[in-house]
Every structure is written in structure tokens, then in C-alpha cells.
Amino acid sequence: MNNFSHVPPGFRFHPTDEELVDYYLRKKVSSRRIDLDVIKDVDLYKIEPWDLQELCRIGTEEQNEWYFFSHKDKKYPTGTRTNRATAAGFWKATGRDKAIYSKHELIGMRKTLVFYKGRAPNGQKSDWIMHEYRLETDENGTPQASFKNYFTFIYN
């Protein structure tokens, strides 16, 4: 079975942070159509990073970035803490979140995470890096806490 997105020959998908947040993520959150089906929906917490390539590949050429949408999983049903564990390990946030602007207005944030094999606090750091994006405003530029519950990711 071929899971590749159907894209024209020579197509390269390399969006900026602003494009990922302001076009792709904003359209996904508002259930609007995205012109080209290049970002898959994935349950991040039921799949290991090394298995994502086959699901999220764009075209047939070698690439080291995979793009996908995934809902945030909560550690507890009524809590706010995020569950970032998989069967083989966990994603750990590193550094500070980076603000993403469009025309000098804050539209989103990017968090960087590293995958650790095993369980915290004794996990073994891997080379897998993920960038997690979130919206900070609705379509009118108004801050909306409800939009923070949907994320898109990039693997390197």
C-alpha cells in the first residue's frame, strides 16, 4: 500500500513557521479545506518517531522532515498537563518556546522537543527532534485559549 501524498513532479514542501501556523494550522483548526493534501493526521502517542516516515512522506524522494497534525493528549482527563509518552519513550520539551509573527503580530508559538527512549527520569536521549506549533489567536487576531488544544508537528 502506498501512503505517499500525490504531488506533482519536482514538488518541494518547505513551509516557513509563519506559513505552517497562519495557513495550514489555522485552516485545520477551523475545518477549512487545505488546497493540497500534504499534511496527514496522526495519533502521535500511538506511534514511534521512526515509524512516521512511511505515514507522513511527501513524494518518493528522501527527506528528513515529516509534517503531520496531531491532537494534544492530556495526562489526566480533567487536567492541563500534556502526555507526551509513547510505548517506547517520551518527548521532552527543551529550551524556550519561539514566538511566530505575521506582520508584526503574534500568531503562534513553536516548542522544540527531543525524544528519549525509556521512561523518565532515566530515559536515553535520541537524535529525534520535533517542533510543536500552536495558534495563539483566532482568525480575527483575538487571543483564544481554545485554539491551544490542536497542534501540528515537524520531525527532523
Mean pLDDT confidence for 73-89:
79
Residues in Cβ contact with 25 at an 8 Å cutoff, skipping those fewer than 6 apart: 69, 108, 133, 134, 135, 150, 151, 152
In a domain, 31, yes or no: yes
- Counting the structural domains of the chain, the total is 1
Dihedral-angle region of residue 24 (phi above 0 means left; psi in -120 to 50 means alpha; beta otherwise):
alpha
Residue range of the domain that includes 67: 17-137+148-155
In a domain, 6, yes or no: no
> Which pLDDT does position 72 carry in this prediction?
73
In a domain, 12, yes or no: no
In a domain, 143, yes or no: no
> Which pLDDT does position 139 carry in this prediction?
65
In a domain, 110, yes or no: yes
pTM of the model: 0.80
In a domain, 41, yes or no: yes
In a domain, 142, yes or no: no
- Greatest CA separation found in the chain? 47
Domain of 74, CATH number, reads 2.170.150.80
Task: Evaluate if residue 5 carries a pLDDT over 60.
Answer: no
More confident residue, 72 or 19: 19
More confident residue, 36 or 95: 95
More confident residue, 109 or 57: 109
> Which pLDDT does position 92 carry in this prediction?
93
Confidence of residue 2 (pLDDT cuts 50, 70, 90): very low
In a domain, 4, yes or no: no
